[in-house]
Amino acid sequence: MRFTRISLTAASAAALALVVAGCAPADGGDQDTTTAASQSIAVSVGPNDFISYNGFTPETYSTYNSAIVDRIFAGFSYFDEVGAIQPNSDLGSYELISEDPMVVEYTIADDAVWSDGTPITVADAVLAWGVQNPNLAGADGPLFNSVSQDLGDTVPEGPQGDADAKSFTVEFAAPDPDWQIQTWLYSPAHVVAEQGGMSTEELVDAIRGGDAAALTTAAEFWNTGWNTDPGTLPDEALIPSSGPYVLSSWEAGQSVTLKRNEAYYGEPAANDELVIRFVAQDAMVQALQNGDLDVIAPQPTVDTVSQIEELGDAAQLLTGQTLTWEHLDFNFTGNASLANSLELRQAFAMCVPRQQIVDNLIKPVNPDAVVMNAREVFPFQENYDEVVSESYDGRYDEPDVEGAKALVDAAGAAGTVVRIGYSAPNPRRADEIALIKSSCDQAGFDIQDVGNADFFQPGGTQERGDYDVALFAWAGSGQITSGQNIYATDKPQNYGGYSSPVVDQAWETLVTSLDESVHLEQTKIIEKQLWDDLFGIPLFAHPGVDAAAADIDNAIHSVGQSGIMWNAEKWSRAE
């Protein structure tokens, strides 16, 4: 899955239920936390407010929400700072015990418990499978409004093991290249069961038995029961944690505070409190200088880097590559102005000044930055040139305003309004749209900046379809199959409603093979069709720029969708 929803607009995972675990494994031995007893570390990854304890629905799955909930939910694996998969030995272990058929055995640590003391068991894994199983359906479709809806087909029988046991096996219907990062633990089964008016055992039996009627109330709670008014957390009994922190407080529009989970069974958090503040990108460096923030993930701009460097020994500048990429995605639904005309989408693509955007806004931060011409591989990855050479002919490398205008005029579409939406405020995206407007208005379009703070929020502009093009970023972590959830027909992260039988079939072939050569060939097919149809327009890979106060230890830049937050439980303030 992509975690920027992960989108970095609203934001790494969920074709096939790919989610980054929120904690790293124990290094072994006891940790002395006496010097950290009074520590509180403040961090900001952006201005977007907290949405929900349940960050696994299409409406709540974002980079910003995940920055919080990934700290309170554990998983069997996680991505490290270079994007490599690591097992989370705090929670337990897993082993591939058969390749044909593919069978994996999971073992949950004996002492692994939710923060309310309830043991983490197979029941929780069964619920994780159930919410990702679209075959659990009522008259209106799947019972659970999950961002991932493939696991019921990928693992048809679900986790096998006694509901109250600590080990289970799963058998895959076909080889799964991303089997190590499937989500087998998320929501607390005992809470969902109670809110559904049943015991945990009854919940497990209903999920395994496909009893949609018995699950209706429980599913309704899972879908919306954790969604509350801004600033109001659900009752403490409803929001237990399986990770190193618990939700403590929420000040709407300002911050969420996480406290160390005193019942955590693994290595304790090195700090006793994380305060995730919602700070505008262009205000982060000043807040770091003032001491209002200790760790920041600002939008990378030349001004940002210069401002951090000017702090001298008071700050650490953390830079590197990222698996986050900027793009313009067309809206194929409703009355979107470009939805039903390939020619107008082509005209728009012809006038977008991609090279100028990179030269003006990205190269000052990363001199090696290039225009990105693929979606599933990055310019710094090994197969990029091969994929691009067989899927894209370079026709949109430089603006062709006259050619674009000819297409617009031929369609009798002069004056067509193109509303470009994004999560505002975002200075760089406002600059991107200004450059697009300067070019594309000359081609006969009327480019309008409709960015707003609620664009990717539940019920916001994107969800209502009141836009023509969305400008945002996907944040990935190197998953092989995650793009299916974005580009295949009717998938939860296919926000623009795109559909292509060619793309659908290529993904089906890719996700059921462990052969890297098959992955490569199907990626070429997918990329070519997305260009031919103009699903959207890739722009550039984000340069990575984070910063931390000089006295913060273990703040480490990561290429993946979790960004600087990937190891937040290991941050500490030097004495």
User: What are the mean pLDDT values of the chain's consecutive 10-residue runs (575 residues total)?
Assistant: 35 32 31 52 96 95 94 96 93 96 98 98 98 95 94 96 98 95 97 98 98 98 97 98 98 98 97 97 96 95 92 96 94 96 98 97 92 95 96 97 98 98 94 98 98 91 96 85 94 95 97 94 98 98 96 95 94 92
Helix (H) or strand (E) holding 151: helix 151-154
Q: Is 147 left (phi over 0), alpha (psi -120 to 50) or beta?
A: alpha
Q: Alpha-carbon distance 79 to 18, whole Å? A: 11
Q: What is the pLDDT of residue 240?
A: 98
Q: What is the pLDDT of residue 457?
A: 86
Q: Is 246 left (phi over 0), alpha (psi -120 to 50) or beta?
A: beta
Q: Delineate the domains of the chain, giving CATH numbers in brackets.
A: 58-225 (3.90.76.10), 236-319+543-573 (3.40.190.10), 324-541 (3.10.105.10)
Q: Which residues pair with 573 in a beta bridge?
A: 552
Q: What is the pLDDT of residue 302?
A: 85
Integer distance in angstroms from the first to the last C-alpha of the chain? 39
User: Contact, 26 vs 268, CB < 8 A?
Assistant: no
Residues composing the chain: 575
Non-local (6+) Cβ contacts of 277 within 8 A are: 42, 43, 44, 254, 255, 287, 292, 293
Q: What is the pLDDT of residue 23?
A: 31
Coil vs helix vs strand at 423: strand
User: Contact, 221 vs 234, CB < 8 A?
Assistant: no
> Which is it for the CA torsion 419, 331, 357, 280, positive or negative?
positive
Q: What is the pLDDT of residue 410?
A: 98
Q: Tell the burial category of 510 from Cβ atoms under 10 Å away from its Cβ (0-12, 13-18, 19+).
A: buried
User: Contact, 272 vs 259, CB < 8 A?
Assistant: yes
Q: What is the pLDDT of residue 458?
A: 83
| pLDDT tens digits for range 91-115 | 999 999 999 999 999 999 999 999 9
Determine how β-strand 295-296 pairs with β-strand 536-541.
Answer: unpaired
Q: What is the pLDDT of residue 30?
A: 38
Could you tell me the two tokens for 329?
Answer: 């995605």
Q: What is the secondary structure of 487-516 as a DSSP string?
A: HSTT-TT-TT----HHHHHHHHHHHT---H
pTM: 0.79
Q: What is the pLDDT of residue 575?
A: 80
Q: Report how far Cα 289 is from the mean position of its chain's Cα atoms.
A: 29
* Residue 178 identity: D
- Write the CA distances from 510 to 52, 519, 520, integer angstroms: 33, 5, 9
